[in-house]
Amino acid sequence: MDTPTAGALDRIREEIDAIDDAMLVLLGKRFAAVEEVKRVKSVNGAIAQSPIRPAREAAILRRLVRARPDAVPAEFRIRLWRAIISASTLMQAPIRIHLGAGLFDSVSARLMLHDHFGATPLAEHQGEAQVLAALAGQPGDIAVVALESPWLEPYLDGRAGQARVIATLPQIASGALPKMLVFGTAAPEPTGDDETLLVTSGQLPRDFAPAPLWQMPLGNRHLASLPGFLSESGLPLIGLVRSNVPLALTLLGRYPSPIEVRS
């Protein structure tokens, strides 16, 4: 004989099953909409460049982090929608992630990449120069390098073709420095909360504004991340380029800032 408690549990489980069924229907509608996006991109040629849109992805995640209900932890929302976004990306076009042997063999790096890119296949290369060269040959793909690995010289030598830094990992803000840089050919788009990555032959002037979010030496050069979606041909960078030619400033990329998750 069923107890009142057992009957209540059965009703709750039936409700959960109904919610799961409704979620599945909504996911089906979302993926159907992605197929329509693919069709439109195929017509206008956008999908030929890259199916990845870091600005659009960041906008989706930031909106969901701000949304209710609070009962759904923000980090879980990011992980869940990253899986949905990654599956949607692979529906639009086949892509691969090019990695050097160091990242390919790193368990922590592989876990971080899986959290962000889901089931996107990985391609291993001997070193960072080969990683960037592979991306130049397959511009619809992406390449990921560890921040402190020897990627800068081959990049400045043009090994990556037209690719630039389009994102950093982890996407959830976890400290001053990112762990990995993501290179790709996706067109940069401002989101309202962005960063610009520069390389110079020396440190930026102490009174330069905006102040760097972080900076570090890399080889015989310096990296600096500035707040904002900046351009070499606009203020404040144009003034720095003209007044300090020996600084040899090069813009490496512009990308959405890591997402702040407050507990």
Give the pLDDT score at 6: 74
Q: State the pLDDT confidence band at 48, using cuts at 50, 70 and 90.
A: low
Q: State the pLDDT confidence band at 263, using cuts at 50, 70 and 90.
A: low
- Running DSSP on this structure, what letter comes out for residue 138? S
144 domain residue, yes or no = yes
231 domain residue, yes or no = yes
Cis peptide before 69 (omega within 30 of 0): yes
Average pLDDT of span 159-188: 94
Distance CA 17, CA 184 (A): 41
Give the pLDDT score at 246: 87
Instruction: Look at residue 28 and tell me whether its pLDDT is greater than 80.
Output: yes
92 domain residue, yes or no = yes
Give the pLDDT score at 47: 59
Average pLDDT of span 137-157: 96
Secondary-structure breakdown of the chain: helix, strand, coil percentages, each rounded to the nearest 5: 45, 20, 35
12 domain residue, yes or no = no
Give the pLDDT score at 2: 57
- At 228-253, the pLDDT tens digits run 999 988 989 998 888 888 889 999 99
43 domain residue, yes or no = no
The larger pLDDT score, comparing residue 70 to residue 86, is at: 86
Q: Which domain holds residue 162?
A: 48-256
CATH of the domain at 187: 3.40.190.10
Nearest partner of 167 among 254, 243, 242, judged by Cα? 254
Number of domains in the chain: 1
For the residues of 58-103, what is the DSSP string, one character each? Answer: HHHHHHHHHSSPTTS-HHHHHHHHHHHHHHHHHHH----EEEEHHH
CA 122 to chain centroid: 16
33 domain residue, yes or no = no
The answer, as to whether pTM is greater than 0.85, is yes
16 domain residue, yes or no = no
Q: State the pLDDT confidence band at 159, using cuts at 50, 70 and 90.
A: very high
